[in-house]
Structure 1
Amino acid sequence: MSVSSGAGHMRAAEALAEAARTLDPSAETLHIDVMSHVSTTFRKVYTDYYIKLVTKHPALWGMLYQASSETPPDAVSQKLRRAIERLSTRSLAAAIGDFAPDAIVCTHFLPAELMMREISKGRLGVPVWIQITDFDLHRMWVIPRMTGFFAGNEEVAFRLRAHGIDPARIHVTGIPIMPAFAETLDRAACAEALGLDPGRRIYLLMGGGAGLGVVPLARRLCALDPDVQLVVLAGRNRQALDELQALASQQHGRLLALGFTDEVPRLLAAADLVITKPGGLSTSECLAMGAPMLLSAPIPGQEERNADYLLENGAAMKAIDPVGLEYRIALLKAEPQRLVAMRRNARALGRPQAAADAMRIVLADLA
């Protein structure tokens, strides 16, 4: 079960479902997006408003993120929030009942909170697991009555224990990604298959599922280095893709603009540097492929926490603004050994088998 507020939670759920089918070919899986069982108004507030808030008012989002993480779960505001969510997701129980699962894994705290309520009322008797999808822990992920928690790193596990979660219920498995990111791919072959020259530098610019901020960054990167080949992913942002394709027509083959694509593993294998927002899923994919990252203007909250983790472990550099981006691009070009070290550190952090490791635990619990 997941929530389509950003692409990462959904991709994590898809990776877990794929791992379950691989480990047990007889297993029947269902991926439920909670947002498909709510009113249009609720969906708009929960998803569209979030995107607008982090895009237009990131500092405000950071304050809300911190404040909500520090608010006790029994506070009036939290009780009211959960009541509104329950009233807005009444059809969800029917969908779960129709499928009659043996186990539930939640890649977002909203369905986990709803399942906690069902368990407490005696209406649900199957194990419910939580997969945390960032390298930091927000308090909303700390939900009682869960069978277990899958953490992205040791610090998340430490924080769960600090909140009173039984250590036996905590498993450090990483953030789940699709099995394609575990493959060893040849850089030159991947570049050529994408129409790129493997003898020249290749930068990959990703803006997440919403394609946030990629157009102005692409313009700046094209102006910075006439020798670089730039691949830009606009996600599901049609307007950004149109603008990027117009820009590509002026770049004489130096810019490849793509929307939503399943070629990300080959793109990461071909890239000398990935310029990305530090979402939990996108950075986990980079780590699995050993791709060095330049993190672009992370929003306060979970992205800044993810960035801190990657910086502390030497897998990335961070640019807080376009000038900082330009400086670091020049630095990495002048000192390529930095990229070599970042690539090595990224691969050391990567957990390409995270989805399978988590699902082995879920399936073993059912045996």
Structure 2
Amino acid sequence: MSKKQKKILLLSVSAGAGHLRAAQAIEAYATQDDGEGSAAIASHLDVMDFVTPAFRKLYTDFYIKLVNKAPALWGYLYHASHDAPRDSSMQRLRRGIERLNTRALMAQIAAFQPDAIICTHFLPAELLSRALRQEQLTCPVWVQVTDFDLHRMWVHERMHGYFAATDEVAFRMRHEGIPAERIHVTGIPIMPAFAQVPERVQCAQAFGLDPQRTTLLLMGGGAGLGSLETVAARLLALPGDFQLIVLAGKNAAALAALQALAGQYPGRLLAQGFTGEVERLMACADLVITKPGGLTTSECLALGLPMIVNAPIPGQEERNADYLLEQGVALKAFDAVTLEYRVRLLLDHPQQLQAMRAKALALGRPRAAADVLAQVLRAGAALE
């Protein structure tokens, strides 16, 4: 190991994909070889791999079921937990349960002996804040907030620094008592592939698409819009000469239904399952219809993609949607009828779509992960 290399530990939680993807993005930059070796030795751990099965089921499965089946309840809990006093009995009980279920994680951290830790979820940040207070940990701990909002559960004592998506999130951090010198506005980390806009013509031709035709990209349905195939069928019935890409992810049933639908619309629908080439599919698109997760929307901004955000769940997605709408880079669809209207509006007014694209490009921070890593390494060098 060269002297300039530092051991960076990235901690995330698989409650939703965004926290994991943010950590993976920083890890990807850490392992890039600039001709003199990689910038750091990075290791990424999912905290849920070091807890009991019961705790994992409660923390991840319950969260996913709650946001899908009872979003209003999740919204209530999001706001109630933000406003709850830190010393309330419920907060103390929650922290006690978390500590009991994460002892294996602390042993893994000790074995790795990191020079710095970056948390892309509030749970490890909270656990390590206590470890720092009790002098069980001595290395700097950083926190990367992964939404265009700040929930108080992200704010903890003894953190070396915080990374914010926007100036407004940084302002909220200062309001919560975090010293200004510990706050860095970097954006939300996304993979290196988004740092350079892929060439549209080459990408379109590789996927069998016409690069000259207006292209819509659908990434997720549900929450009042219907299944992916239902939304796709509704979109394809709209007037206009456009083509549609639909990402089904790991949903095999949805992919099969979409592929059957594609047979009814030759040359107009590309149904895609799980793929590692999302950025190349995005490069083919003029408009994205998506849930407003922090990572996905950051990827869209990096590539200058206007969005229609559909039915955000109350809480962080709602705040993300508010930010995007305020910045003029997205419209919002809360049901299928509204989605149809918004799509028609933008197809009929391409100048509005182009204006949204320009604003998205201006907001994008494609090298956020690289900037986070660079700040952590600079701070480490200053401490030596």
TM-score with structure 1 setting the length: 0.95
- Give, in angstroms, the shift of residue 251 of structure 1: 2.9
Query: CA deviation digits over 1:267-314, x for unaligned, max 9?
Result: 111101000011000000000000111111111111111111111111
- Give, in angstroms, the shift of residue 91 of structure 1: 0.9
CA distance in 1, matches of 2:81, 2:252: 32
TM-score with structure 2 setting the length: 0.91
The residue that corresponds to 1:101 in the other structure is: 114
Match of 1:45 among 54, 58, 69: 58
CA distance in 1, matches of 2:101, 2:328: 43
The residue that corresponds to 2:377 in the other structure is: 363
The residue that corresponds to 2:183 in the other structure is: 170
Q: Which amino acid aligns with 2:329?
A: A
Please tell me whether residue 334 in structure 1 is matched to residue 326 in structure 2. Answer: no
CA distance in 2, matches of 1:59, 1:344: 34
CA distance in 1, matches of 2:321, 2:81: 20
Moved more, 243-252 or 336-345: 243-252
Query: CA deviation digits over 1:89-112, x for unaligned, max 9?
Result: 121112112211110000000111
Q: Secondary structure at the match of 1:224?
A: coil
Please tell me whether residue 149 in structure 1 is matched to residue 162 in structure 2. Answer: yes
CA distance in 1, matches of 2:201, 2:339: 26
- Give, in angstroms, the shift of residue 82 of structure 1: 1.2
Greater fraction of residues in strand? 2
CA distance in 2, matches of 1:78, 1:237: 36
Match of 1:200 among 192, 213, 221: 213
Contact 2:30–2:39 (8 Å) recurs in 1: no
Q: Which amino acid aligns with 2:256?
A: D
The residue that corresponds to 1:81 in the other structure is: 94
Determine what percentage of the aligned residue pairs are the same residue: 62
CA distance in 1, matches of 2:138, 2:276: 37
Q: Which runs of 5+ in 2 are unaligned?
A: 1-10
Q: Which amino acid aligns with 1:165?
A: I
Relative to structure 1, is the Cα distance of residues 243 and 42 closer, same or farther in structure 2, using a 3 angstrom cutoff? Answer: farther
Contact 2:286–2:305 (8 Å) recurs in 1: yes
Please tell me whether residue 191 in structure 1 is matched to residue 204 in structure 2. Answer: yes
Query: CA deviation digits over 1:51-93, x for unaligned, max 9?
Result: 2111121111111111111112222111111111111112111
Match of 1:285 among 299, 316, 336: 299
Relative to structure 1, is the Cα distance of residues 239 and 70 closer, same or farther in structure 2, using a 3 angstrom cutoff? Answer: farther
Relative to structure 1, is the Cα distance of residues 172 and 91 closer, same or farther in structure 2, using a 3 angstrom cutoff? Answer: same
Relative to structure 1, is the Cα distance of residues 107 and 82 closer, same or farther in structure 2, using a 3 angstrom cutoff? Answer: same
Please tell me whether residue 5 in structure 1 is matched to residue 12 in structure 2. Answer: no
Match of 1:254 among 240, 252, 268: 268
Q: Which amino acid aligns with 1:71?
A: A
Contact 2:304–2:364 (8 Å) recurs in 1: yes
Q: Which runs of 5+ in 1 are unaligned?
A: none
CA distance in 2, matches of 1:26, 1:263: 25
CA distance in 2, matches of 1:366, 1:195: 48
Match of 1:56 among 50, 58, 69: 69
CA distance in 1, matches of 2:262, 2:53: 36
Contact 2:18–2:293 (8 Å) recurs in 1: yes
- Give, in angstroms, the shift of residue 233 of structure 1: 1.3
- Give, in angstroms, the shift of residue 330 of structure 1: 0.8
The residue that corresponds to 1:19 in the other structure is: 29
CA distance in 2, matches of 1:2, 1:213: 29
Q: CA RMSD in A?
A: 1.6
CA distance in 2, matches of 1:26, 1:187: 31
- Count of paired positions: 364
Match of 1:243 among 257, 270, 282: 257
- Give, in angstroms, the shift of residue 226 of structure 1: 6.6
Please tell me whether residue 344 in structure 1 is matched to residue 358 in structure 2. Answer: yes
CA distance in 2, matches of 1:225, 1:86: 56
The residue that corresponds to 2:242 in the other structure is: 228
